[in-house]
Each structure stands twice: as C-alpha cells, then as structure tokens.
Amino acid sequence: MTTFPNPTFDTARIEAEARTLRSKEVARVAGSVGRSIANTVRNVFESIAEARRMQTTYNELSALSDRELRDMGLVRSDITAVAAGVMQRPVELTAIDGSKAADKAPAPVAAQDDVRLAA
C-alpha cells in the first residue's frame, strides 16, 4: 500500500489568491453590468429622439394641404408610413425633354443639380 505524504497547505497564500480572483471577477461582472446599463440608457434616449423626429415629420406633413401632399407624390394616408420611415417608393423622374432618367447615363452631381423636371 502506497502512502502519500501529508502535504502542508499555505492557507494564507490560498486565501490571498482567492480574494484576488474574487476581486477580479467582481470587477469584470460590474464592468459588464455597467456597459449593459449604459447601452440601455443610450437606446432609450435614441428611441426618444427617433419618436420626436417621427412626430415632427408627421405634424409637418399633416399640416400640408392635399394638393401640397400630391405635389410630393403623397396622399394623406401615406403620412404615417413616411413619418415612420417605412415607405419606399421608386422614383421615376422625367426631364423636360421627355426622356427618362434611366435612358441616360448618370451625369456628374454638379450637372444633376441644374436639371429641371417636368411637373
């Protein structure tokens, strides 16, 4: 039968290491919780800002007449979707000469600024 020597433990050293490891883990968890709280607060403020932007857009579009909305290619029932940013509509522009934008190669930005569109 094999006998093992009775090891002596340095309990003070083990306790010091345990305290160090516990402190590191507490700091890691606290940092993670702090980042989570900061992200949540940031998301709340971003949501509030987005809601205000949507409300402002909705109010401004609602104040327009039906003719003004129609001039922009909208009807009153589109206002909510436009304000929410979910309305996507392909835009086809017709130049004064009757040609479609898709018929021509894209012009440089400076040249596009001067193009007049037919009503």
Which tens digits make up the pLDDT trace of 92-101?
666 666 666 5
How far apart CA 43 and CA 38 sit, in angstroms, is 9
Within this chain, do residues 74 and 104 fall inside the same structural domain, yes or no? no
On whether residue 4 sits in a domain, the answer given is no
What does the mean pLDDT of the chain come to?
A: 80
Indicate whether 97 and 79 sit together in one domain. no
- Specify if 5 maps to a domain: no
Is the separation of the CB atoms in 97 and 116 below 8 Å? no
Instruction: Judge if 33 and 70 occupy the same domain.
Output: yes
pLDDT tens digit sequence for 40-90: 999 999 999 999 999 999 999 999 999 999 888 889 999 999 999 888 765
List of long-range contacts for 62-67, beta carbons under 8 Å, 24+ apart: none
pTM comes to: 0.52
101: containing domain: 92-119
Domain contains 6:
no
Please give the tally of structural domains in the chain. Answer: 2
Are 84 and 99 part of one and the same domain?
A: no
